[in-house]
Structure 1
Amino acid sequence: MLGDLGLVAGLALLILLALRGVNILLAVLISVLVIGVTNNLPIEDIFLKHFPFGPSGAFSFAGNFLLLFLCGGLFGRVMAASHAAQGVAVGIMSWLGQKRALLIAMLVCAVLTYGGVVVFVVMFTMYPIGVTLMRTANIPRRLYAAAIALGAGTFTMTALPGTPSIHNVIAARSLSTDLFAGGWYGVLAAVIMAGLGMWYLQRQWHAAQRQGEDYIANDKDQHMAALAPKEGEPLPGLGLSLAPIILVLATIILPRILQSIGFDSTWQQFASTQPVLWASFALLVGSALCFVLFPPVRKQFVQAAGQGVDDALLPLINTAAVIGFGGVVIQTTGFHAFAQWLLALDIPALVSVFVSANLISGVTASASGGLQIFMSSLAPAYLEAGIAPELLHRIANLAAGGLDSLPHSGAVIALLTLMGLTHKEAYKDIFVVTVAIPMLAAFIAVVAALVLV
């Protein structure tokens, strides 16, 4: 009984500390101490075994995915330094017009994240551009933040096949599938997330206009606007700016194309069995193309590469810390009882996957953290229940992208902090587009799979 109360108290404490702006690593360490002590786990095992080095330990995760995070950070920073990221944004802006600013924000974020730019880099790329968009189109800051969250943290993260996101790679690595596994279900869910999410944001924008809610500048805006391209500064065209992203995606998909035509080779087998290394290689290839195509980045490539590494470290540490929190949680009897209860529910196995992956991601407030724990602790049982690895890959990914964006999510906190917003001001809109709608999309994908399989 005390252990179960400790689990609840530890999770509640983590959420509370995160909401109060406490560093997520510090919040995790305090919370795991509460959970460990109330569950009679030796302190030395908590901090020297389960949290850092267990199967779902922080350092275990960081070691396995360090290269992918570093290459993602490098590619994102090189895209920004070359002005290719801004070229994508401005090109789509010219195509759609500033009146469609929310759609532009979603599309640019989606293109960048689908091409491998890490979410945190996308946030910093979009905010300077967003200052101009918000001012020109009179968009409330809270809605622009939600548009960024929709484009960067939903369908390109867990749904669209082929994305080099950490979530897609975790599933591929754990299940020996490729990054395109369960692709049609992912496409279905992506259309629902993007369509319903943008419908909601446009509806809220019109309501804000009727109520006289305007864009209000803050102190951050002037500073961040300085990071945007200077007026009159030449930018690469949309086609050229997209070239590195297209190359990244083409590199990832190439082994699958070759396999479909019957070509077999050692490197192709390597690409299929090593999704972390292959996705990292694809991001390096994209970075190299930026170096070749864009003179601005050649002048500061070493500096940009170093900044890219810095960009990757904080997301890696925060994600690893939350996964380490889960690594302690799964050592408790309460978690094992919870897992057994989930597996024993008299519901279809795919529905059970939807429920369990959602709840675990909610506990960790991280889709990648929840997915890592799900794959190490529950996925084997679902495979034994007869779910195909490719289907489990996609459904688990979709489900993990539901409750992951609760208030204590590191990405949510980073976005609100960057844009100078509070949870009270902006979290409702972020919740709708990153929690409610993705959960609905994932459930529809589950229903479609039950009908078709």
Structure 2
Amino acid sequence: MADVGLVAGLVLLIVLALRGVNILLAVLVSILVIGVTNQLSLADVFLKFFPFGPSGAFSFAGNFLLLFLCGGLFGRVMAASHAAQGVAVGITERLGHHRALWIAMLVCAVLTYGGVVVFVVMFTMYPIGVTLMREANIPRRLYAAAIALGAGTFTMTALPGTPSIHNVIAARSLGTDLFAGGWYGVLAGLVMALGGMWYLQWQWRRAQAQGEVYVANDKDEQMAALAPKEGTKLPGLMLSLTPILVVLITIMLPRVLTMAGVTSAWQTFANSQPVLWASFALLVGSLLCYLLFASVRKDFVATAGHGVDDAMLPLINTAAVIGFGGVVIQTEGFHAFAAWLLSLDISPLVSVLVSANLISGITASASGGLQIFMSSLAPAYLEAGVSAEVLHRLANLAAGGLDSLPHSGAVIALLTLMGLTHKEAYKDIFVVTVAIPLLAAVIAMLAALL
């Protein structure tokens, strides 16, 4: 009955998420089912394991609140200054509308790698994308997949140095820095970016051959109104990129100085505090936007407030999923599952790939799955001889595979934003955010084994 209840709770979470039920409400109902069937004290479930356990919702929120807030602030000031739009328009002018899929991927990648929150990136790219889709006659489903590829794959888990929550979770848990396992990440990132774009271009050619074209809907008209008006003066590409480059340079500086043989107290602090240093880098980028762009200075307090609002929903949703995992790991079924994974007669690196993927698939969240993996299974892999640097990058890559199943919050948000259904668009999103990232993780794992 306990195992049946555990599976039922997982299935219920997936079903409720697919039906559009608020993820926090879906989690609370699901952990009730798991708690009752596993004979866990409901007081412990709702007042201990879910909120404050090692993988509790509020434990996670408390540890990463600053990072989410600084990320939300940076994303909002980039949007308010029109720098985010300046990046998109600048790249479009250089590549041309006929490369719309490349443009969508590259702009999303630049913004997310620099620390702009993924939901802000979606809202930035979609209004501009309406023009791109119309000019290039691209089916909407393929443009949605291009956004997903650029915003939710290689910059999220693969490329070293990014202040993404996934990179920071691994660094904080393992005592590594944001560049750990960097070469494996670069290899996997190239597979994801080039493999995903090859697939999308192939699908576009097929769509053209079959007469499939861009068809506008009500969402497109609404979002097109949010795009910069014709004649609006946007900052140039290099000026728009400057805050992003400053964020990345700030993050990289302690690492570069250490490699050059320079040591100081602040470097030690920066390398040992990935949450604080990444947050500081995003704050520096936000202040630079304030100095560079007069449009931000006009109403900075309100803009900062909107940035906080942007951060809270992703933080609460992510924390809720992690709290769900915090209840799951208290069950005997999960411990039996973990023991089975660790007892498999396979390489520890293969086991890392399998276990992190499965946990992220269950929670439909790369960050949620990674946090649960780090708190429950990572110590065993370190004891088995896996280096912290390799574990950091490989676990990140694995967590970014099955996290984008149909009940993923980010997938649902993207489809809802663009007015698409799973039937219309999920196949392409699945290929570029699940199938190809899984392949990339396997290639990185093989490189680590060799």
TM-score tier by shorter-chain length is over 0.9
Which residue does 1:97 correspond to in 2?
Answer: 96
Counting only pairs closer than 5 Å after superposition, residues 298-447 of structure 1 correspond to structure 2 as 298-447=297-446
TM-score normalised by L of structure 1: 0.99
The CA deviation at 1:294 is 1.1
User: In 2, Cα distance between the equivalents of 1:6 and 1:405?
Assistant: 24
- Corresponding residue for 1:448? 447
What's the offset of the Cα at 1:161? 0.3
* Cα distance, 1:218 vs structure 2: 1.3
Residue 113 of structure 1 pairs with residue 112 of structure 2: yes
What do residues 196-253 of structure 1 show as CA deviations (whole Å, max 9, x unaligned)? 1001111111111111111111112222112111101111111111000000000000
- For 1:17, the equivalent position in structure 2 comes to 16
* Equivalent residue number for residue 287 of structure 1: 286
Normalization by structure 2: what TM-score? 0.99
- CA displacement 1:95-120 (0-9 Å, x = unmatched): 11000000100000000000000111
User: How far did residue 299 of structure 1 move?
Assistant: 1.0
How many Å separate the matches in 2 of 1:21 and 1:138? 30
Q: Matched residues in 2 for 1:7 and 1:431: separation?
A: 26
Q: Give, in whole Å, the separation in 2 of the partners of 1:215 and 1:18.
A: 29
- Identity rate, percent: 82
Which position in structure 2 is the counterpart of 1:247? Answer: 246
Question: What is the alpha-carbon distance in structure 1 between the residues aligned to residue 101 and residue 200 of structure 2?
Answer: 8
**For the residues of structure 1 that align with 2:44 and 2:217, how far apart are their CA atoms?**
46
AA aligned to 2:309 is D
**How many angstroms does 1:136 deviate by?**
1.0
For 2:257, the aligned partner's letter is L
- Paired residue type of 1:296: S
User: Which amino acid letter does the alignment assign opposite residue 359 of structure 2?
Assistant: I
Q: After TM superposition, give the deviation of residue 262 of structure 1 in Å.
A: 1.7
For each residue in 1:1-45, what CA deviation from the matched residue of structure 2 results, as whole angstroms up to 9, or x when unmatched?
x11111111111111111111111111111111111111111111
Which residue of the partner structure matches residue 152 of structure 1? Answer: 151
Q: Which moved more, 1:22-31 or 1:99-108?
A: 22-31
Q: Which residue of 2 aligns with 1:163?
A: 162
> Deviation per CA, 1:122-170, whole angstroms, max 9, x where unpaired?
1111111111111111111111111000000000000000000000000
In 1, Cα distance between equivalents of 2:25 and 2:140: 29
The one-letter amino acid of 2:235's match is: P
Tell me the distance in 2 between the aligned counterparts of 1:11 and 1:170: 23
Q: Which amino acid aligns with 1:25?
A: L
Look up the match of 1:207.
206
Q: Which amino acid aligns with 2:137?
A: N
Partner of 1:134: 133
The AA in structure 1 aligned to 2:202 is: R
Alpha-carbon distance between aligned partners in 2 of 1:47 and 1:140, rounded to the nearest angstrom: 45
Deviation at 1:305, TM superposition (A): 0.8
Offset, 1:304: 1.1
Is residue 2:163 matched to residue 1:125?
no
Between 157-166 and 292-301, the greater mean CA deviation after superposition: 292-301
Residues 341-384 of structure 1 deviation map (CA, whole Å, 9 limit, x = unaligned)? 00000000000000000000001100000000000000000000
Q: Distance in 1 between matches of 2:23 and 2:111?
A: 26
Please state how far the C-alpha of 1:85 moved relative to its aligned partner.
0.3
2:45 corresponding residue in structure 1: 46
Instruction: State how far apart, in whole Å, the 2-side matches of 1:284 and 1:357 are.
Output: 31
Q: Which blocks of at least 5 consecutive residues in structure 2 are unaligned?
A: none
Amino acid at match of 1:213: E
Residue deviations 1:283-313 (CA, integer Å, cap 9, x gap): 0000111111111111121111111110010
Please give the root-mean-square deviation of Cα atoms over the aligned residues, in Å.
0.7
| Structure 2 counterpart of 1:184 | 183
1:197 aligns with 2:166: no
Q: Supply the AA of the counterpart residue of 2:136.
A: A
Take 2:300 and 2:137, find their aligned partners in 1: how far apart are those partners? Answer: 36
